[in-house]
Amino acid sequence: MASNRYCIIMAGGIGSRFWPLSNTSTPKQFLDLLGVGKTFLQSTFDRFSRIIPVENIFVVTNDIYKELVLEQLPMLTENQVLLEPLRRKTAPCIAYASYKLLNIDPNANIVVTPADHLILNESEFLMAVESAFVFTENQDVLMTLGITPNRPETGYGYIQINHNEAVKGHPSIFKVKTFTEKPNREIARVFVDSGEFVWNSGIFIWSLKSILKAFSTHLPEIDSLFRDGVGIYNSPQEKDFIAKVYSLCRSVSIDYGIMESASNVYVHCADFGWSDVGTWNSLFNNSPKDEVNNVRVGNKILAYRSTGCIIENKTDRPIIVEGLTDYLVIQTDDATMIINKHNEHEIKNYASDVETNFKPK
């Protein structure tokens, strides 16, 4: 393993789309939603530890999740868990981690990844990351991984490329032409049919020098805030400094703040069975089914004349389901939810109504 390769795992989201399984105290990245015996965070860590030294893997999360991270990843030191006092989207998160690494290894080559994505073909995925590392190590470029689309998905961002203009010597790497955020179905269908677009995975690879230069150019006010901490990172004063910086820092994503503006953005195209598992329907599509096409997670579940359902039981109380098609039946100690899968966009509203009407813990 190359000693100058690092991984930054972003694990600060609250996962409200998977309520009632996921909530503020235990969001999606800390759950085993797929029933594989590991949480998303643990799976992500294990995946990257195959090519990156454990001591070079850092997790950025909200400060209320510090103990959860260390409990699930006990091999990390406290200095490898970066704590955000406020949620400020991905650009401040990446700036914080980048300046922390500057104090450790100015020659760092970095992969930045969400904590809660599904990768089915890990060998193919790691080959793509290795290839991207080789490309970014000695060039001033910003790289993202692009996924070959197999349907007009409206929940993902899209990247436009020219398949006839691959980088010489790197047949899977292309210069990015445009980014498009989550299009409607008609536009998504045009994108897929054109053959010019790939899904934006939200996984990035770049050298530390390149990303710091990009912050200085495209987000100078954020860069200035975090640059003032040089000499403070990895010291006892870091926590107080970060609290002050985040109180002054605006909320902006790395895609909007840098990637959509920079002229040195490239995409490594691959197909390794990727999903951001951002919805119950995507969870259904990526989970094993029983003989009648239901996803069952947990014990004490009985289903009769039901199909296309996700039935998950996090309690010792039995669940009996009869005559349902395409439903979510989720039972936890805090709540029981039974809704049509196609109405999952309403879940945030339902969770808000529970909060308003019943004042749960």
- Side-chain half-sphere exposure of 86, counting CA atoms within 13 A: 15
DSSP code at position 349: H
Q: What residue ranges do the domains of the chain occupy?
A: 5-275, 283-358
Number of Cβ within a 10 Å radius of residue 63: 16
* pLDDT, tens digit only, all 361 positions of the chain: 789 999 999 999 877 789 999 988 899 999 998 888 899 999 999 999 999 999 999 999 999 999 999 999 999 999 999 999 999 999 999 999 999 999 999 999 999 999 999 999 999 999 999 999 999 999 999 999 999 998 998 889 999 998 788 898 899 999 999 999 889 999 999 999 999 999 999 999 999 999 999 999 999 999 999 999 999 999 999 999 999 999 999 999 999 999 999 999 999 999 999 988 888 988 998 899 999 999 999 999 999 999 999 999 999 999 999 999 999 999 999 899 999 999 998 998 999 899 899 876 5
Tokens 């994503």 -> residue: 253
**DSSP-derived secondary structure letter, 41:** H
What is the pTM (predicted TM-score) of this model?
A: 0.93
Beta pairing partners, 296: 311
Tokens standing for residue 334: 């805090």
5: which 2 tokens? 């390769």
- CATH 3.90.550.10, applies to 5-275: yes
Q: Output the CA torsion sign for 34, 38, 44, 49.
A: negative
Give the span between the Cα atoms of 120 and 200, in whole angstroms: 17
